[in-house]
Structure 1
């Protein structure tokens, strides 16, 4: 009976202990797991990623330190200024060691950098590094991992891991894409490479060769240039016999109307213009001939038509009457003489020879002296002819 009772008690005891043992084991396992998770939470990083409408953000926490990295804008275009903000907060009693300036930022152009440290009302340390960056090109870029160190000086906590000087927190890379300003779909065109550079000193050699060739060209071309310039000067001074006579005739026409004694001087000048033109145009050199003698010479010229000869006969005899017989023609006769002389010049201007203007300007004075001598010589002849009852003749003026 006792045996039976003891066996029964053992069975009851075993049945009661087994559930209790199972509950204890499960509780112990859960408790150990919780302790392990608590210990690991001090060592592992807690990452939180997020992207806003114009912000890329990444947060990480290790124990008493929380690190946040922010990048703006989230979709930059080439040429935009990027703002990178590194924010670190730590519990009271924790010493922060921030990254040095420009650490891991070598691939970017740093436009500006602003560090800042503060302590809030709860004694928490706050440290901020703000960078303003520019990317060198479009395409995919990334902010590299940034390392923050800290020393835990709180009571009851190890200052740093065993064998280390400080704890480390390493952020994750922030990747972003910089858009190009080139429209979508435009094919990339590669420009041809530059030609091979000339060796040093080749430019000076070419310069000397150029100077020598220039001097040689000038030495050969200068005589021809000088000759051409001289010919141009001669041509610029040469005018046709028609232009010279017409210029004098036009000046006489634009002058005041002759009256009284001025009529004789007017006809002297008019006949002088026609005489010079005849000598220059038809090569009739007869300064000492009387009117009749000159008309006889003109009659043999093949270049003068019968109409021209009739004009000369009438024109020169009218001039003789004014100069020698003191005949004073009326205004109509003067205008008719001007028109006749002008028509004669216009009709014979074709193929008029070119004359040196300087010599042509001297010829009237020289010939005027010859005309004066001819007139002085012609007056006795005229008086002799008129005294003998012959026909009056005058010197061709």
Structure 2
């Protein structure tokens, strides 16, 4: 239960913050157009690595819509992103000439005219395994797909069937999930460990990923970027509790990440071969993220062992107390923002890497 509490959050953004934030994001999001672009929209599925605030609007403790989260976002207000600023879909959207922030589908401040060029269905705390989403009561992946189906209907009503089908077909879909399946579920809760060895659980997740991606294909998606898991043994929280190894990276977790990512890569090859017209990209950033963590000064960072928020060793979500005297003054010096999630600077570096090495074919 200890990790579950650490990996959860409470508190909501105040009404004043919400009112002040909305105009900032509206002005940012209406400054660009999708007309004539090869990628007319960015559509996002997954977990907290890509959630732009959907959890704000469901009954869960897994939220980050309060300070100091968002302090480096537009206007300096928390949005539900687990970051001090923007997250990868935001940077990727901007790089493709679209909006500099991708809105959360459940956010009532937005409507279908906003979502037509970018929408996020992701939910912090979710995974491929429905048992993972049950841990913190968040949106399971199947429900994200149901919201996407609802979005398609709204889009067709808004721009017409032909235009909507074009957007659906030409949009770039970003999928990022898997870390919670291991850290929040398999290694924390007993059920799956009794049912599977870790290798068997990896295969179980691959089967679920296969079904999910085929489902997206059947709904019209053709350009999909699939991101695996990072060096999860090097997350500050995992290093904090790795006392016996002098707070080094937990190599067991990193090895699982490598093995799982390898299986995802094989799945990508399989689906591209079996599904006509599918352009599924194996957007594996494991090695690049590990470089940042092991050689932080090379990328302009001063610390990769702890996060900026609080002591940086175990805080995430509600434990990132806005009144903590330990929170760092400059998140750009830290690879991680909290004990799990990267800083906005790291997210931008990783996004640039993925664009240059994996997504440039869509530009």
Q: Same fold (TM over 0.5)?
A: no
TM-score by length of 2: 0.19
The structure number with the bigger radius of gyration is 1
Higher RCO (CA < 8 A, seq sep 6+): 2
TM-score by length of 1: 0.18
